[in-house]
Amino acid sequence: MSSEVSFLFSGVIFGLSAGISPGPLLTLVVSETLRYNVAEGIKVSVSPLITDLPIIIFTLFALIHVSDTLPFLGMISIAGAAFIAFMGYESICFKGAELHIGDSPPHSIRKGAVANLLNPSPYLFWFSIGGPILGSALKLSLISVAFFITAFYVCLIGSKIGIAMAVARSRSFLNNKHYIYTIKFLGVILFVFAYIFLKNGLTHLGVL
């Protein structure tokens, strides 16, 4: 069961990191909350449930067809390590966030879906990080797959909803020291995952 729990833990860490780190979708969550109300921010928060499924299916389909090509999997793992390290670096260097809010009618779910579809991060994440994790989980058990996906989306969406509710109460939340320190702490953990991905990639390439 410890191996299955490790996928749950991975889902929690990556979900929280993606959920609370500044980016186009979080910016839209906060701006819609401040411009209209917390309900509009929540609508944006759940938009990954609409946009991510095709990305996940495409990624798994692509990886299944190269699952026996160890050098290719090695390169994907190394690319994932680089992306995770970049996420970790950005998180550790985070010092607070500022927003510039304009005026437009509320079409929050549509805005969130468009923002997520045009954001390269979900594609990079699922192809270089999430896809390989799901591939490993699938080799172990369907429970492992369920653990990772459930934990990832509960934490991703839940954290964005939490931020929307916090911002509705206080506009200064994004510069709160506890929020900043949480992002920095997650950044350190991301570097640990980057090391694991790098090690796996070098193993697939026959370097280790």
Residue 54 structure tokens: 């095709």
Q: For the residues 128-153, what does the mean pLDDT come to?
A: 91
pLDDT at 101 over 60: no
Q: For the residues 67-76, what does the mean pLDDT come to?
A: 75
Query: For the segment 1-57, what is each residue's pLDDT rounded down to a tens digit?
Result: 568 899 999 999 999 999 998 888 888 888 888 888 899 889 999 999 988 888 888
Whole-structure pTM value: 0.83
pLDDT of residue 113: 82
Looking at the 3D structure of the chain, how many domains does it have?
Answer: 1
pLDDT at 99 over 70: no
Q: Which domain holds residue 12?
A: 2-204
Could you give the CA distance from residue 87 to residue 84 in angstroms, rounded to a whole number? 5
Query: For the segment 161-195, what is each residue's pLDDT rounded down to a tens digit?
Result: 999 999 888 877 878 888 889 889 988 999 998 99
Residue 206 structure tokens: 């026959």
**Closest by Cα among 79, 89, 127, 94 to 26:** 94
If one counts every other C-beta atom within 10 angstroms of the C-beta of residue 152, the result is 27
